[in-house]
A = this chain, B = another copy of it.
Amino acid sequence: MKFVIIGGDAAGMSAASRARRLYPDLDITVLEQSFDVSYSACSMPYNIADPDTPMDTLVVRTAQQFIDNHNINLLTGHKATAIHRDARQVAGKTIQGNVFCFEYDKLLIATGAVPTLPDLPGRELLMPLKQLEQGRQIKAAIQNKGVKKACILGMGYIALEMCEALTDLGIHVTMVKPGPLLLPWLPRDMAQIVQDELNKQKVILHLGTKIQRLEPKNRGAAIICDNITLDADLVIGATGVAPCSELARDAALALSVSDAVHVDQYLRTSDPNIFAAGDCGDAIHVVTGQNVWIPLALRANRAGWAVADNLFKENNPLQGVAGTAVFKVFNLAVARSGLTFSQAKDAGFDPVENLITSWSRVKWQPGAAKIYVNMVGDKKTGKLLGAQMVGIDGVAHRINAVAVALHAGMSVAAFIQTDLAYAPPFSPTWDPLLTAAIQLEKKL
């Protein structure tokens, strides 16, 4: 039996490794267009901030290790260009220009996502950050060009992580986006805390600033906007990502939200012999029950594993995602799980939200800091729908209690009753999440 995997990153290599363990005789081929497999993509901004550590330390396993130690036919520089479902073949071309064609019994599309750079004149001057090679290029540019000023298009979490990394290197960062709001999914009072932190770090934000074009200038580029022209030695394009679903679309497989490849809970596409996993595929949201596209690393790994489990039998049905995410921006952590108020509204709930301020620990304990929790519940059913948190201390892991509650379909009233840990060095008697739930319940 032949198992072919298109894409050798988190989902693809998780599936390959687990399939190898589960089925020692399976013929496993991975087609990866780049020359990198199995690396920690989310660590790239932190590596860029650290000139002394080569980017390649982020490689968990090399292609050669998969070949030698796992008996996986891992082919880098192999770009799949078409899936022929009738013939059960994947066709493509190597980086050297040779065509190839592989037959499959089971196929996994793990093509990930690509940065969606704005369609501007001069966009070739933008450096995106998604693949390891792009990380290497940014790092090389910083080291070789003596970058003093950088401009980042976009203000999402990759943009903010890169902003911190570049600032840590002594580079002056300007950020630009056409939309008027920083982190529009956060309540304004919480987004303001992030904005204040960015101001404190001397990052310049140009919100509501439409970019017309980029032009080469000195070592870098001029960024010509409606009302202002900026210049920078390095311009990072971090304006979002889109699923790589062209292969699936061209093979007439069903697509879903945001054109992600639609899969069932066994990760099967509309063709039962073709699976999809990772940033190219959709998922069910545990709160809404609707399809969503939330490309995050844990899901990619989990889905890759599950594909191997489900390859020949329905062994491992995946539950949905809660959309839990956290990122660091300078001294702050920003976290979320579940729905925001406006997402809840769009999903047909009758949402109520409430923002509280509390302390991360008992106030006089070392490290205690203010913590902000916005919690969202449904007026009709009393259900907990989501939460967002911002703070210097104690944000990242607290959000997990919310995530578990969302998976369990808990009401706000039930969450209030949960027995959360208390000791003065770690939490007030009433954990900020409990305070948030108590205050929210009053409005429900």
Residues of A within 8 A of B (CB): 10, 40, 42-43, 46, 53, 57, 286, 296-299, 301-302, 318-328, 333, 335, 337, 362, 364-365, 394, 396-401, 403-405, 407-408, 410, 414-415, 417-427, 429-431, 433
Contact = CB atoms under 8 A, between A and B. Distances in A.
B362 A43 contact: yes
A40 B57 CA distance: 48
B419 A323 contact: yes
A403 B421 contact: yes
Given A43-B362, A430-B301, A414 B407 contact: yes
Nearest to A426: B396
Given A417-B318, A419-B286, A424 B298 contact: no
A63 B324 CA distance: 45
A59 B325 CA distance: 38
A434 to B, nearest CB: 8
Given A46-B364, A46-B424, A407-B419, 11 more contacts: A42-B429, A297-B429, A301-B430, A325-B421, A335-B421, A396-B426, A398-B400, A400-B418, A400-B431, A407-B408, A408-B408
A408 B415 CA distance: 9
Contacts of A319: 414, 417
Nearest to A365: B46
A398 to B, nearest CB: 5
A419 B337 contact: yes
Contacts of A327: 423
Given A408-B404, A427-B396, A422 B365 contact: no
Contact of A324 (B296, B297, B408, B421): B421
A366 to B, nearest CB: 9
